[in-house]
């Protein structure tokens, strides 16, 4: 503790010197957007059909249809819960799940770089991710207990479900491209 003030001063000094190199002032303002691949536990990837995200096996030339997921952490929520905002198409369209008794999943035009600045109002766009045995689940911040899911059948829309069962898959692979 006794060392803290001296360290802070030294850092301030460094920051003053580094200004112009964006070392100390930029990170607080900029949001880094990550680009990941997501696919379900049955190896189905996501693509757009009739403006809806669906999960299916994409073979051959169709592999090019796969949507990459763009995501940012949402610091308006408890960091330990790994809150993220998920989008496609360079973060111009984001996954949203407004609060409801039977929540639905939507794709909304929104700038993934701006949404975190909306604070808790961004809940509909926020998902808490949790990890187990190499797989991720994504729980809607606006609808606690509801998770992103795919259908066990191919080429069905991405949706939300409370529980995994024979027809709903809640587990995803989620990796850097
Ligand atoms: C993605 O969005 C960012 C920020 O709006 C922009 O600077 C960049 O050029 C976009 N990239 C592509 C491939 O459109």
pLDDT the model gives residue 29: 57
Q: How far is the CA of 89 from the centre of ligand 1 (A)?
A: 9
Q: How far is the CA of 145 from the centre of ligand 1 (A)?
A: 34
Other Cβ atoms less than 10 A from the Cβ of 69: the count is 21
Q: How far is the CA of 38 from the centre of ligand 1 (A)?
A: 20
pLDDT the model gives residue 31: 80
pLDDT the model gives residue 6: 39
pLDDT the model gives residue 103: 98
Q: How far is the CA of 43 from the centre of ligand 1 (A)?
A: 28
Q: What is the 3-state secondary structure (H, E, C) of 104-143?
A: CCEEEECCCCCHHHHHHHHHHHEEEEEEECCEEEEEECCC
Top-tier CATH class for 32-176: mainly beta
Q: How far is the CA of 155 from the centre of ligand 1 (A)?
A: 29
What SS3 state is found at 7?
A: helix
pLDDT the model gives residue 97: 98
**Confidence (pTM):** 0.83
Q: How far is the CA of 90 from the centre of ligand 1 (A)?
A: 6
Residues of the chain short of pLDDT 70, as ranges, are 1-29
Q: Tokens 């112009």 identify what position? A: 20
pLDDT the model gives residue 28: 52
């Amino acid at each position: 503790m006794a060392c803290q003030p001296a360290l802070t001063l030294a850092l301030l000094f460094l920051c003053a010197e580094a200004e112009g190199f964006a070392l100390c002032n930029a990170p607080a303002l900029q949001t880094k957007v990550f680009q990941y691949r997501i696919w379900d536990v049955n190896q189905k990837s996501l693509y757009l059909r009739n403006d809806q995200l669906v999960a299916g096996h994409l073979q051959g030339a169709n592999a090019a249809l796969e949507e990459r997921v763009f995501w940012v952490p949402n610091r308006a929520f408890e960091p330990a819960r790994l809150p993220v905002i998920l989008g496609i198409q360079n973060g111009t369209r984001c996954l949203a799940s407004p609060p409801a008794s039977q929540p639905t999943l939507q794709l909304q035009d929104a700038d993934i770089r701006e949404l975190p600045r909306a604070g808790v109002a961004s809940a509909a766009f926020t998902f808490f991710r949790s990890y187990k045995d190499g797989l991720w689940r994504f729980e809607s911040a606006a609808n606690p207990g509801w998770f992103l899911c795919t259908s066990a059948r191919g080429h069905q829309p991405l949706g939300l479900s409370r529980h995994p069962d024979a027809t709903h898959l809640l587990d995803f692979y989620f990796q850097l491209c």
